[in-house]
Structure 1
Amino acid sequence: MEKRTVNPWSWQNERSYSQAVEVKNVESTLYCSGQAAIDPDGTSSDKDMKSQLQQAIANLEEVISKAGYECANIVRLNIYTTSTKELWPHFPILQEWIAKYNIEQAVTMLEVNGLFETLMVELEATAVK
């Protein structure tokens, strides 16, 4: 697989994403459903935004690894949150995770009216190999 990022500007670098990601010679693609702070027994978290973000990241990581992919090969990440204002102070947690795996991905963040039950943040990813 070949991966190329396209960044006409530099300001996105401090926000840990790329404007576009091109992939060629892909063996396979994994489209992950939105991962949120849901326990293995299916219970939705009622904890704070920071805890939910950490659990959503862990759940996304588990899905990707169980499928035989690597987080480093995430090329698209969509972030859904019920409050960008509440999520923003915890954004460094996501940035540290992105740096840990050297992920270079295109990103969209959307504030939504609601997520399932008590959930406040959901991460949807596409990974390639």
Structure 2
Amino acid sequence: MERRIINPWEWQNERSYVQAVEVVKPEATLYISGQTAIDAAGISSTGDMRSQITDSISNLEKVIDEAGYACKNIVRLNIYTTSSDEFFASFDIFQDWVKKHGIKQTSTVLEVKSLFETLKVELEVTVVR
């Protein structure tokens, strides 16, 4: 697989995403359903935004690992949240995770009216190999 990052500007670097990712000759592509703070028994978290971001990332990593892919190869990550203000107040968790794995992904953040049950954040990704 070959990957090329397209960033006509530099300001997005502080926001932990890129403007475009070109993937040439991928071996495989993994499309992952939105991952949330639901535990192994299927119980939705009632925790705050910080804990739900952490749990959602953990669940996302579990699916990526189980499929035999690597977080560093995430090329698209969409974030759905019931509160942009709360999400961005906890953005350091997300940024630390992106930095830890060297992820260079395109992203969209959308505030939605609601998510399933008591959930506050959902992470939807595409990963290549």
User: Which bracket does the TM-score occupy, shorter chain normalised?
Assistant: over 0.9
1:51 counterpart letter in structure 2:
S
Q: TM-score, normalised by structure 2?
A: 0.99
SS at match of 1:95: helix
SS at match of 2:90: helix
Unpaired runs of 5+ in structure 2?
A: none
Question: How far 1:89 moved relative to its partner?
Answer: 1.1
Counterpart Cα distance in 2 of 1:82 and 1:110: 8
Query: Partner of 1:47 in structure 2?
Result: 47
Question: How far 1:82 moved relative to its partner?
Answer: 0.1
Alignment of 1:15-54 (within 5 A): 15-54=15-54
Alignment of 1:28-107 (within 5 A): 28-107=28-107
Q: How many residues align?
A: 129
Question: How far 1:29 moved relative to its partner?
Answer: 0.2
Q: TM-score, normalised by structure 1?
A: 0.99
% identical equivalent positions: 61
2:73 counterpart letter in structure 1:
N
Q: Displaced runs of 4+ in structure 1, greater than 2 A? A: none
Unpaired runs of 5+ in structure 1?
A: none
Question: What are the Cα deviations for residues 33-56 of structure 1, in whole angstroms up to 9, with x where unaligned?
Answer: 000000000000000000000000
Counterpart Cα distance in 2 of 1:106 and 1:114: 23
Question: How far 1:115 moved relative to its partner?
Answer: 0.2
2:26 counterpart letter in structure 1:
V
